[in-house]
Every structure is written in structure tokens, then in C-alpha cells.
Amino acid sequence: MDNVAIIVDDLESAIAFFTELGMNLEGKAQLEGLVVDRIVGLDGVRTDIAMMRTPDGHGRLELTEYHTPAAIGAGSENPPPNTLGLHRVMFAVDDIDDTVARLRAHGAELLGEVTQYEDSYRLCYLRGPAGIIVALAEQLG
């Protein structure tokens, strides 16, 4: 897999959120023109994108803000975790409590609570940029 794309309504805020999560900004670009139109199947596309890389260098998120045509919602404003389609993106973290506190400063909200799963993990779900669900996992022991 090369990357997962997330459509956002505020690219700079999304970059700040994922930077706080430990990802690194690999690059930014504006994409438009006939080739882009043909790839995505829309006319008059103009987007700004940012490619974010995980600290281990193996995973990437492409954050995309559409200027034209305007991005549209897929349904409800904040779909619940059982909504069809992309469910969530999970990140391994060293200190879940610290990470939650830092992400809250960027607008993240817990969906439930930080919970321990057996003797293996502490886990939680947060609502992140553009309403996406970001899961955090702190391995125990």
C-alpha cells in the first residue's frame, strides 16, 4: 500500500493534528489540470495536498483539501464508528494519555473513553480532522 487519502476542509489544521500525532510532513503541492480531472473523474479540479509520513517511514497519509469542485459530505456530519466505508485509522503511541491531551488541543474529541483491552493494550477512538475517526493503541508490557 502506498497511502490512504483523507479529504479535509482545513489542510493546515489537519497537518498540525497529524504532526502532533508524530507524523512528518513529506511535502505539499497544488494539483489541477486535465490530467487530475481525468484521474479523479471530476471537472475543474483544484486541490492542495500534503503527504504525511509515519515516523517509521512505512506508512503515509495524503491529506487533500478540494477548492474546486467543493468537497461534499458523505452523509451525517459525524458518522458513528459503524458507518459503511473507511472505518478508522489506528496509530500506535507510547503514551496514550499524553497523546489524547495533545490532540485535544487540536480539536480532537474522545468518542468513548480510554480503555484497557486485556493485558495487551490501552485503546481509544477520537474524532479528528473532517470528522474522521482516529484510533490510538498503547501496547502494555
Q: Which CATH number fits domain 4-68: 3.10.180.10, 3.40.50.2300, 3.40.50.150, 3.30.930.10?
A: 3.10.180.10
User: Residue 83 corresponds to which amino acid?
Assistant: T
Q: What's the pLDDT tens digit per position in 60-116?
A: 999 999 999 888 776 656 666 566 666 689 999 999 999 999 999 999 999 999 999
User: What is the reported pLDDT for 122?
Assistant: 95
Is pTM beyond 0.75? Reply is yes
CATH topology (fold) of 89-139: 2,3-Dihydroxybiphenyl 1,2-Dioxygenase; domain 1 (3.10.180)
Alpha-helical (H) ranges within the chain are 11-20, 34-40, 96-104
- Percent of the chain exceeding pLDDT 90 equals 70
Cell 474524532 identifies what position?
Answer: 127
Q: Where are the domains of the chain?
A: 4-68, 89-139
| 92, containing H or E segment | strand 89-92
Q: Which of 6-15, 46-55, 81-90, 92-101 has the lowest mean pLDDT?
A: 81-90
User: Residue 12 corresponds to which amino acid?
Assistant: E
